[in-house]
Amino acid sequence: MRQQGSGHIVNMSSTAGLVGFAGSSLYCGAKFALEGTSEALAKEVESFGIKVTLIEPGAFRTDFNGRSLAAAKQSINAYAPVSGASLQWFKEMDGQQPGNPAKAAQAIIQAVESPHPPMRLALGTDAMSLIQEKLEWVKTDLDAWQQVTVSTDYTDRNSEVMVCTWTK
C-alpha cells in the first residue's frame, strides 16, 4: 500500500468499541483498543495515501448472538444480575437483531469507494443512538468538570505548555 501510494484498511470494531456494556468488559476492552489503534494508525499512514475506517455496527442478524456466543462455564453469583441479564438479552435477541448484514456490507463498500471515507462508520439505528448518547455523556462530564480539568495545568506563564491538537 505504501509503494502504490494508496489503500484502505477496514477494521471491524463495534458499538462496544465506544460504549461500555455491563457483562461485556473483555469484549469492550478489546474493541476500545482496536479503536485507539486504528485512530493512531490512520494518522501514521495518511501521508502514504492509505485510509483507515472503523466499522462500528450495532446488533446485526449474524451468528454473534447464536452459536458464536461464548459464555463462561462457571458464573459468579454476585455478577448474575448484570452478566446473567446481559447473556439472557443476547440469547433472546438472537434472530431479532435490527441490522441487516447485506445492507451493512453495501455500506462498507460505499465507504471504501468514497473519495472521502469516514474514519468511523456506525451501522444501524441502535449504533447511532448509543454513540450519540455516549458523546452527550462525555460532553456533560467535560462541561461539569471543566474548572477542575483546567486547574491541573501549571499556572506559571513563563513555563512552556505543550498543547496537543486533534487533526482528522
Catalytic site positions? 13, 27, 31
Q: What residues does 8 pair with on adjacent strands? A: 51
Which three cell numbers mark 10? 477496514
Q: Distance between CA atoms of 79 and 86, rounded to whole angstroms?
A: 10
**19 CB burial (10 A radius; 0-12, 13-18, 19+):** buried
In the block, residue with C-alpha cell 462496544: 16
